[in-house]
Amino acid sequence: MQDSNTQNRTSEFDFRILMWDKMKMISEETSEAVKALRKREYGHSYTSSDDSCSKVSFLLYQTLCLSQLLPQLAKDRVGGKTLSQPLASGKEVVDLGAAWLNEVTQPKIFALAKKYGYETVVQTSKGDGIVEDTSGNIQRVAQDQLLNLSPATLQAMGMITSILETEAAKLDLRDLPISPFDKLTVSDFLKQKGAVEDAYTYFETIVKGLLGIDAIELSLFFYLDYIQSGGSLGELMSERSDGAQYQRLRQGMQSIFRGMAGDLQPGSLFLESPVSHIQHENSSTCTVTTQKGKISFVSLTGVVSFSYDTSVEADGQYSITCFIVGGTGRKWSVLSPTKRRQTVLNQITAMVGDEHGHRVYETEEIIEDEWIKEQWRKGAPSPVMGPNLLNKYADVLRAPCGSLHFVGTETAYEWKGYMDGAISAGARGAGEVIDALRKSAAR
């Protein structure tokens, strides 16, 4: 049962549905012919997602006072896969991209939030969850209550969770072994362990929620590495004080990177400048060519796989963020805008039940963002690997190539796929460039 405060909030809810289409990121991106190109020469260059780029630029500028540092971002905004969108009222902000942080387990991104004076709000975790199983049955589940599933299904879920946690905990993220798990997809593993129907779909929904793809597309070894990078599967899924979804920023996550960009030398940051070509001139120079009370639910069958209550009561902003992911999301993406929204509203109506369902169609505002359709993103939250790739390339993911240095949340050791991972990767890349420049200057 929900507490009385949660019940009251629910009955007065203004449903605003926020779409975050976390689709599969592809590493090799193509672009149309370049109409206008700019060329600049650098002693050292780096490639990254925008969030890591901001950190690299910030650290290099602070450490070396490089007036010639000219970071280029492909998009017209800073912040990588953060996107903080003002509502129509203009008084509140909601996040359509990366949205959560944790002051204890993700200290780097939290420190930046505090540096710029932004306020954190704790993710709402009180009240019931609503779960739709593979048969279409809908049940309300109180906190710490087990799902109403068969004993065999619950046993299989517990066994598989234990194996994933145990195998992930064995990994040394800075010295990955060659693993037979890289030959398997997560789907292969689940089927080998006897996961069927609800158990299989439950674990696939977790994969879709964390990485935006289906279990059949993901290397088991990469998944274990990802789990370990976030501490544990439990922490990655949690909204509690040790969890990845514990806190949000009242001003929106993108505000951090706007603050970092503001600390750079005026005129040194170039937006809408995607890199199209990098050419090594000599051992120290390369030419870079650019273009210019909780209402949340999990569904094992619906188009929305899961949602979060992302309200900020202090601002009178009440919203639900819905995640439409993997193969389900790709099918939903080709529908007309009207059909896309109607499909989501219909599902939420069925999930919340007769008492409050009619209020769903009184939604005040709907904002949707499809990351897979962004030219320089191609999905979210970060690049992933299918089978037989991590064994091959684990030792070169972060290795410099001549004067090129690679950063981005996917290259982080801890919290890959998260903003904290992006910040730590940026710091690593900046350190590499600083050391290289100092050695060059000492010659």
Distance CA(419)–CA(77), nearest Å, equals 16
All residues at 6 or more sequence positions from 44 whose CB lies less than 8 Å from its CB, including other chains: 284, 286, 403, 404, 405, 433, 436, 437
The label of the residue with tokens 């030219």 reads 375
Q: Which two tokens stand for residue 216?
A: 């059949």
Whose CA is closest to 154, among 185, 192, 219, 199?
Answer: 199
At position 44, the amino acid (one-letter code) is: H
- CA quadruple 206, 208, 214, 218: dihedral, nearest 10: -80
All residues at 6 or more sequence positions from 401 whose CB lies less than 8 Å from its CB, including other chains: none
Q: Going by DSSP bridges, is the β-strand pair 120-122/247-249 parallel, antiparallel, or unpaired? A: antiparallel
CB-based contact 435:64 (threshold 8 Å): no
User: Annotation-wise, does 365 bind a ligand?
Assistant: no
Whose CA is closest to 380, among 25, 1, 49, 8?
Answer: 25
Q: Is 396 helix (H, G, I), strand (E, B) or coil?
A: coil
The neighbouring-strand residues paired with 351 are none
User: Annotation-wise, does 189 bind a ligand?
Assistant: no
Distance CA(374)–CA(380), nearest Å, equals 10
Distance CA(63)–CA(326), nearest Å, equals 42
User: Annotation-wise, does 323 bind a ligand?
Assistant: yes
Distance CA(271)–CA(235), nearest Å, equals 35
The label of the residue with tokens 């299918």 reads 386
Distance CA(292)–CA(274), nearest Å, equals 6
Q: How many CB atoms lie within 10 A of CB 32?
A: 7
Output the known binding site for FAD.
275, 410
Output the known binding site.
275, 323, 410
Output the known binding site for substrate.
323
